Amino acid sequence: MKTIFCTGLAALLFLNACESDNDSTQNKTPISIKITDAPGRYDAVLLNIDEIEILTSNGRTILDVDDNEPFDILEFSMGKDTLLATETVASGRLQEVRLILDDEGNEIIVDGERHPLTTPSGQSSGVKIKVHDELIPNVAYTLLLDFDAASSIVQQGNGGYSLKPVIRAIPEAVSGVIYGVVLPLEAAPKIYIEIGDERIGAVTNAEGKFYFPGIEDGMYTIVIEPENEAFANEVIENVVVEAGVVKDIGTVTLEPASL
């Protein structure tokens, strides 16, 4: 009887352990964090991300960034991205992603000269990005962070540069893309899309191309505003976007401004 009792106890403990492991697995979601960039008119923007903090309705997880070395965010634009970290996190409502920047290695290169990027909020409490999405247990989830270099870099009066990150969080599987080319290059245009109460913007790259990821299904108006006042604004209406599809609006040639 003693042997039977011990065996039964061992089996019970084994079953409880299995149930505990299963519960643990069932409440976790594999998550991947990637980052991409909207073009900026700089030689390079170097970011040194130390950690990523993921907050869900059921817990908080710290993800170590594998390389933890400065990288040029401008290399990952026009549909390119780079993987920052992967981990399993507590399932539930995804509420916030926070980027913690290293104290050193954040720089901008302008006309061949290197300047430090002051990032006080990024180094202390972190760059906070609000997200509202559901993490389903055992269903892999990928979040793309769209870093807007042109809007994130602020030139100070003393000639220095500070970083006030403008970042959108994009669930990759449920969004489309708007792509196009604006000429002539000397127009130096800014392109805007109205998304609800939010107006997101971008600048063209050295080839006149622009690329807006993370656009939900719907119909949009694109506004093109040249920085060069010799060219007129352009408005393109009724641009239809579908999830998982790149909407190419073609090449837009700006007209001279009216005298």
For residues 72 and 95, membership in a common domain is answered with: yes
For residues 61 and 154, membership in a common domain is answered with: yes
Please tell me whether the peptide bond between 184 and the residue prior to it is cis, using omega within 30 degrees of 0: yes
pLDDT at 255 over 90: yes
Query: How sure is the predictor about 26, in pLDDT bands with cuts at 50, 70 and 90?
Result: low
For residues 38 and 123, membership in a common domain is answered with: yes
10 located within any domain:
no
Residue 226: per-residue pLDDT: 96
Strand partners, 13: none
Residue 11: per-residue pLDDT: 47
End-to-end Cα, the chain, rounded Å: 103
Q: How far is CA 38 from CA 26, 33, 147, 174, 191, in A?
A: 37, 17, 6, 19, 11
For residues 207 and 239, membership in a common domain is answered with: yes
Q: Among 125, 155, 174, which residue terminates a domain?
A: 174
For residues 34 and 106, membership in a common domain is answered with: yes
Mean of pLDDT values over 100-124: 83
Residue 71: per-residue pLDDT: 94
Run of H or E including 100: strand 92-101
Mean of pLDDT values over 233-246: 91
Q: Where are the alpha helices (DSSP H) in the chain?
A: 2-26, 120-123, 149-152
Mean of pLDDT values over 120-148: 83
The answer to whether residues 53 and 63 touch, using CB atoms and an 8 Å cutoff, is yes
Phi, psi at 258, each rounded to 5°: -70, 140
Cβ-based neighbour number of residue 92 at 10 Å: 17
Q: What is the pTM of this model?
A: 0.77
Query: How sure is the predictor about 150, in pLDDT bands with cuts at 50, 70 and 90?
Result: confident
Q: How confident is the model over 180-211, as pLDDT tens digits?
A: 999 999 999 999 998 777 788 888 988 999 99
Token pair for 161: 């540069």
For residues 156 and 62, membership in a common domain is answered with: yes
Q: Among 139, 174, 209, which residue terminates a domain?
A: 174
Q: How confident is the model over 58-102, as pLDDT tens digits?
A: 989 999 886 678 999 999 998 899 999 999 999 999 999 999 988
Q: Among 122, 152, 174, which residue terminates a domain?
A: 174
Query: How sure is the predictor about 174, in pLDDT bands with cuts at 50, 70 and 90?
Result: low
